[in-house]
């Protein structure tokens, strides 16, 4: 006789009366963060590779938000606290993703179909660093023929 692989059925005696969950939400002020992100130091690298019949772009974009004492616009406050706020705010992450998308599009050499990204935000001695790893499927560029003069 085989033993069951699952614990089996159990009767619930009484559902919990109260369930508690704590959620921290942060929203950065749009105008100020737009100004800080537009003044950011941006470094990108990446290239398109052929994978079977598909053309795929792999790249990384680093967005450094320098603190004021390092020549940037980020206030010289608790940088770790500012990094935590940025991790919780989807609007700032979306702006960083748009920067990475523009950078990837300029390097890809073909139109992008689907873009996947991972975003990491960390504090650094000079400010806050937003790292965006990008993978994008590319449309194959249309080959055009040109007439060769005789």
Domain boundaries, the chain: 38-138
CATH assignment of 38-138, among 1.10.287, 2.60.40, 1.10.10, 3.30.980: 3.30.980
- Specify the pLDDT at position 139: 87
The CB density around residue 68, as the number of other CB atoms within 10 Å, is: 12
- Specify the pLDDT at position 121: 96
Q: Which structure tokens are listed for 49?
A: 């590779």
Rounded to whole angstroms, the Cα distance separating 105 from 113 reads 11
Low-confidence ranges of the chain (pLDDT < 70): 1-7, 12, 25, 141-150
Name the helix (H) or strand (E) containing 36.
Answer: helix 30-38
- Specify the pLDDT at position 29: 80
Report whether 90 contacts 33 (CB < 8 A). no
Q: Which residue has the tokens 């599009």?
A: 105
Average pLDDT of the chain, as a whole number = 86
- Specify the pLDDT at position 146: 54
Q: Is 37 helix (H, G, I), strand (E, B) or coil?
A: helix
Q: Residue 22: phi, psi to the nearest 5?
A: -105, 135
């Amino acid at each position: 006789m085989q033993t069951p692989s699952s614990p089996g059925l159990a009767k619930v005696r009484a559902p919990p009366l109260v369930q508690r969950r704590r959620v921290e939400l942060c929203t950065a002020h749009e105008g100020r963060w737009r100004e800080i992100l537009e003044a950011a130091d941006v470094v990108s690298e990446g290239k398109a590779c052929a994978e079977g019949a598909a053309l795929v772009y792999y790249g990384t974009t680093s967005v450094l938000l320098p603190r004021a004492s390092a020549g940037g616009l980020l206030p010289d406050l608790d940088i770790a606290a500012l990094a935590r706020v940025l991790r919780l705010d989807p609007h700032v992450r979306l702006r960083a993703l748009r920067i990475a998308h523009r950078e990837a599009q300029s390097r890809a050499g073909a139109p992008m179909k689907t873009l996947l990204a991972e975003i990491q935000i960390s504090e650094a001695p000079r400010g806050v660093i937003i790292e965006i790893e990008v993978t994008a499927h590319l449309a194959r560029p249309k080959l055009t023929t040109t007439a060769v003069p005789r």
